[in-house]
Amino acid sequence: MREGTYSSMNRTGRITFMLALATMLSWLGEAVHNAIELPGLTILSLENSIPGIVAALLFGAYLLSPFKQASVGLLLGSGLLNLVGGGIISVLPLNFLPFAPAQTLTHYLAHLFYSAAEIPLILITARLLREPNPNHDLKMAP
């Protein structure tokens, strides 16, 4: 393999690829949670397909829209909403929730995975929002 092979993809391309993976992992965290907690669902069930479509639309907006900062902000908001709302709050036995979450190890582990799957998306988008370059030329640590 030539030394320049990896560098042939420019930084913007690497960032786009990393953001695509992080977006997919974010959705996968919810889908895995649903597979564990709601085993009767399929990948095409609304509980899985709608979040997948939303994630794809938000990433598509990043790819195609001239408003990259807004698209990245929406992806960050999606990751934070999934982390806080889906990964953390919905696991707690709070009286304002319209359901009583199971207090089992499996349930906690499903939510741990769901939460952890949001972290790459949150970190990447937060860093992109801090970068002044409109092309999102994220500096990668060596």
Query: What confidence tens digit (pLDDT) does each residue in 14-42 have?
Result: 999 999 999 999 999 999 999 998 888 88
Confirm whether 98 is domain-assigned: yes
| Inside any domain, residue 60 | yes
Q: Does residue 20 belong to any structural domain of this protein? A: no
Domain carrying residue 124? 30-130
Is the pLDDT score of 55 beyond 90? Answer: yes
Alpha-carbon distance of 38 to 80, in angstroms, equals 22
pLDDT value of residue 138: 46
Q: Is residue 24 part of a domain?
A: no
pLDDT of the residue at 142: 46
Helix residue spans in 1-140 (DSSP H): 11-37, 46-64, 68-81, 105-116, 119-130
* 15 assigned to some structural domain: no
Q: Is residue 19 part of a domain?
A: no
Domain count for the chain: 1
- 12-39 burial, b at 16+ Cβ within 10 Å, e below that, comes to eeebbebbeebbbbbbbbbbebbeebee
Asked if residue 109 is part of any domain, the answer here is: yes
Is 64 a domain residue? yes
Q: How many CB atoms lie within 10 A of CB 57?
A: 12
